Amino acid sequence: MKKILLFIAVLITYMEGNTQAYTDYIGAGHTNGITVSSSDQVQGSDAINSLNGSGMDFHRMNASRFLSQATLGYTMDEINTLAGNSFEEWIDTQIDITPSNFPETLESIWQEVLELHVAAGEDPEEVFGPYQLHFNYTWWTINMTNEDKLRQRMALALSELLVISMNSDLRDHVDAVASYYDVLVRNSFGNFEDLLLEVSLHPAMGYYLSHMNNPKEDLENNIHPDENYAREIMQLFSIGLYELNIDGSRKKDGNGNDIPTYDNDDIKELAQVFTGLGPGAINDMVTWTDEPYFGLGLYGADMTVPMVVYENFHETDQKELINGLTIPANQDGMTDIEMTVNHLFNHPNVGPFLATRLIQRFVKSNPTPAYIERVATVFNNNGQGVRGDLEAVIKSILLDDEARDCGPLQSIENGRLREPMVTAIQFARSVDIDTPLDRYWHNGYDLIEQLKQFPMASPSVFNFFTPDYSPVGGVSEAGLVAPEFKIHDSSTSIQGINKVYAWNVWDGPWYSWHGGYGDPGIGYLTDQFSGMVQNPEALLNYLDILYTHGQMTDETRGFIKEAISPLAPDEWEVVRNAIYLLLISPDYKIQK
């Protein structure tokens, strides 16, 4: 028996070393004179396609899946262009595209809105704005027409990490919000340290987390530095609550307990660093002063100009920060801030902390420790000795085997619930929108009220959902998280179905608040689906590539086919009901 086993082992080794690679197989493109007949030639399909591989859709499904992760919306033409080509080259091309400009677009849209009100006989001095509505118009317009798709996807992800919100007085000061969002856009592929510093100095963040006009300690008048930003820059923006290993797991002390990254005394020390910051300029409405001053508030400051340090209000005592950093006494305030941001940036937690959160926004809710470690390693060193290179980080996230390999897709650890606002914009970009005036003015309030989400409108600094949220039931029992389910409740789940129905069956992908001022309603055309109505399989195959990336189940396919078959030959009814039913199905809602 041992001799037989030895012979087999030797034979296998010989065959592996001497077998010639076989490349002539069904689907490889080699037909070798074979003639194939078929009884079905719908849309002119040739029977020989069964053997030559031209009818195989893997590359298109793969491209669709990649674009669903890397963009906020794409078309079938873009899928076809990318299919079979290099994803890395696509990323490089995207990085080189000039960023869309939010402040300029906001101003252009505001002027157009103002003209509509004036044309309706209103006094321009009585028209309020720009405010949240106009930022919503701006965000939707840019993301319906832009070419810098990866950058805008990254900016949205960063906006859910480095949070400010119009769920505050900023709703009436969206010049500040647009300026802040532009910081995220411009720095999407830059260095995280530069981004963290610029965010810390932006007056929108200074107002939102109350470190603008934050004075030094004055015990006699019971004044103490505001601790808000000092807490959140550590907890939410950089290092988190507990010491981490590079794979994102928590370090333990000798008793097996988690190790906190900081305590309340650390917050008090750090709060002293962010004292003395005030407005860097005044706005055009100010008549009572010619220059900014410490204490000038939201209505007087130019909220688009970075804050500056007013040294008389900055704490100059020595400061002891986490991990042993001593900030010397009597140092100028900006040097204190730059030293602090640099110190936090170099904390070993930042790589795994940021890697986990960005993977969750782009790819999956439960990345493996190995995935986190690979991305964190790139954050620590981009291969050229540079730490914090976000361009290298996003490449690492999107090109990692755990993002690209289809093997583990059926595992319960894979996938994420699509965010409602991302579903809305992805759908809108996937169809041929009928816009008579080329306007893309989405009011956004319907998504906020019904689905609890629209960019820059989170309920708090903790975003729309926390990264460790785990819904009760199978997810939590499996020890997994599903952040987006925090806003997927008994109300939004029903409202989400209604919204998709309205987009399709009511032909209302979105609406503005200026219909009464001459902004025409919009719908979408179904020309791209022409010729598929009489062949439900062809339509479903097309939709499977476009929306579910080849992952439509037989159960969903059969259900939709049964529902739309009686509606033929009405193209409007067939196409719109098919898309509606697919977009509310688990096959689409859970992105894998």
Over the stretch 419-437, which tens digit does the pLDDT of each residue have? 999 999 999 999 999 998 9
Check whether 3 has a pLDDT greater than 90: no
Q: What is the pLDDT of residue 1?
A: 46
Tens of pLDDT, residue by residue over 435-491, are 989 999 999 999 999 999 999 999 999 999 999 999 999 999 999 999 999 999 999
The DSSP element (H or E) to which 146 belongs, if any, is: none
Tens of pLDDT, residue by residue over 409-422, are 878 889 999 999 99
Check whether 2 has a pLDDT greater than 50: no
Q: Which of 17-31, 164-178, 578-592 has the lowest mean pLDDT?
A: 17-31
Tens of pLDDT, residue by residue over 380-402, are 999 999 999 999 999 999 999 99
Burial of 43 (0-12, 13-18, 19+ CB in 10 A): exposed
Q: Does residue 225 have a cis peptide bond before it, meaning omega lies within 30 degrees of 0?
A: no
CA torsion sign, 349 to 153 to 446 to 105? positive
Check whether 14 has a pLDDT greater than 80: no
CB 387 within 8 A of CB 350: no
Q: Which of 144, 57, 68 is nearest to 590 (CA)?
A: 68
Average pLDDT, the chain: 92
Q: What is the pLDDT of residue 592?
A: 94
CA–CA dist 391, 382 (Å, integer): 9
Q: What is the pLDDT of residue 412?
A: 83
CB 311 within 8 A of CB 287: no
- Taking residues 117-138, what's their average pLDDT? 97
Tens of pLDDT, residue by residue over 39-75, are 554 555 566 665 655 556 899 999 999 999 999 999 9
> What is the percentage of the chain residues whose pLDDT exceeds 90?
88
- Taking residues 77-102, what's their average pLDDT? 98
The DSSP element (H or E) to which 402 belongs, if any, is: helix 401-404
CB 550 within 8 A of CB 58: yes
Q: How confident is the model at residue 12 (pLDDT cuts 50, 70, 90)?
A: very low
Burial of 110 (0-12, 13-18, 19+ CB in 10 A): buried
Check whether 166 has a pLDDT greater than 70: yes
Check whether 306 has a pLDDT greater than 60: yes
Check whether 245 has a pLDDT greater than 90: yes
Check whether 190 has a pLDDT greater than 50: yes
CB 132 within 8 A of CB 110: no
CA distances from 129 to 103, 107, 134, 181, 496 (A): 14, 10, 8, 18, 30
CB 487 within 8 A of CB 464: yes
Tens of pLDDT, residue by residue over 152-163, are 999 999 999 999
Q: How confident is the model at residue 585 (pLDDT cuts 50, 70, 90)?
A: very high
Burial of 14 (0-12, 13-18, 19+ CB in 10 A): exposed
Tens of pLDDT, residue by residue over 93-114, are 999 999 999 999 999 999 999 9
Q: Which residue has the tokens 């849209």?
A: 109
Check whether 7 has a pLDDT greater than 70: no
CA–CA dist 363, 366 (Å, integer): 9
Q: How confident is the model at residue 258 (pLDDT cuts 50, 70, 90)?
A: very high
pTM of the model: 0.92
Give the tokens for residue 322: 């986490």
Q: What is the pLDDT of residue 141?
A: 98
Tens of pLDDT, residue by residue over 532-575, are 988 999 999 999 999 999 999 999 999 999 999 999 999 999 99
Q: Give backbone dihedrals phi and psi of 244, rounded to 5 degrees, phi first.
A: -120, 150
Tens of pLDDT, residue by residue over 199-226, are 999 999 999 999 999 999 999 999 999 9
